[in-house]
């Protein structure tokens, strides 16, 4: 399970950075993608064990930039064995409190990165997986529970699950397994403000465990789903929400 070539989108911080570190610790070479947070991405790159890791910049809402970025990563690593679609946009836009222009902008930006961007990265990456591979998409509990304050986010994450399941069927004959993780609240730096004080207590109380996930816990699940042992998990969705949302 070592020596694979891995592209992690949105790897400058949070789940993406933790995932990049997990793969690097397993002996894999990692492409650390970022959109705008170049300094944070460089810090992630510097934290990786091993050698041969690279930085990869692209606005995932720009199809041409996506194609150029994936092509550059494949050239630098010699191909792609694992793709982790982690990058995401989260923009509040409650329907009753947003102008029409704010509403349109939020939907375009959120779906442009979370769903269309991930789809475009995947199309490009599959061209560099001639001998099989793994694709792991990072969705959210919000795909099932709903996101009333940011409906585009919930819709994009639900769409990402449907996309993954369609590709699990389409790419299985090429020995490419496609899976999804769906975390609830995760203790990232971006969530720190909302997990502080009384609001944070309420968030943690949503789980009978009384806690939220760490980025490292989500990364461990992603590493498993990308492993040879998880081949038959293709098409599945792994919930990581501490039983805060249960579904059949």
CA of 56: how far to CAs of 6, 38, 68, 119, 179, in Å? 12, 9, 10, 17, 23
Give the span between the Cα atoms of 74 and 72, in whole angstroms.
5
Give the span between the Cα atoms of 133 and 228, in whole angstroms.
9
Angle among Cα 141, 143, 148 to the nearest 5 degrees reads 95
Q: Is 153 a catalytic residue?
A: yes
Name 137's bridge partners. 85, 180
Indicate which residue of 34, 100, 153, 224 is catalytic. Answer: 153
User: Which region holds residue 200: left if phi is over 0, alpha if psi is between -120 and 50, else beta?
Assistant: alpha
Which residues form the catalytic set?
153
């Amino acid at each position: 399970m070592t020596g694979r070539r891995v592209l992690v989108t949105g790897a400058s911080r949070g789940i993406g950075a933790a995932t990049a570190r997990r793969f690097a610790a397993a002996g894999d070479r990692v492409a650390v993608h970022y959109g705008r947070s170049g300094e944070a991405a460089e810090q992630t790159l510097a934290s990786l064990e091993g050698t041969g890791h690279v930085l990869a910049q692209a606005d995932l809402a720009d199809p041409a930039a996506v194609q150029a970025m994936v092509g550059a990563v494949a050239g630098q690593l010699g191909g792609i064995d694992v793709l982790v679609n982690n990058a995401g946009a989260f923009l509040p836009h409650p329907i009753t409190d947003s102008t029409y222009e704010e509403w349109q902008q939020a939907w375009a930006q959120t779906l442009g990165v979370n769903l269309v961007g991930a789809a475009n990265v995947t199309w490009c990456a599959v061209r560099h997986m001639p001998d099989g591979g793994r694709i792991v998409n990072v969705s959210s509990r919000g795909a099932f529970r709903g996101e009333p304050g940011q409906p585009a986010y919930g819709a994009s994450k639900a769409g990402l699950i449907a996309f993954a399941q369609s590709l699990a069927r389409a790419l299985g004959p090429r020995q490419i397994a496609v899976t999804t993780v769906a975390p609830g609240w995760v203790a990232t730096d971006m969530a720190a403000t909302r997990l502080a004080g009384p609001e944070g207590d309420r968030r943690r109380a949503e789980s009978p465990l009384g806690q939220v996930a760490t980025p490292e816990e989500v990364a461990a699940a992603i590493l498993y789903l990308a492993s040879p042992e998880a081949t038959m998990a293709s098409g599945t969705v792994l919930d990581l929400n501490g039983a805060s949302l249960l579904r059949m």
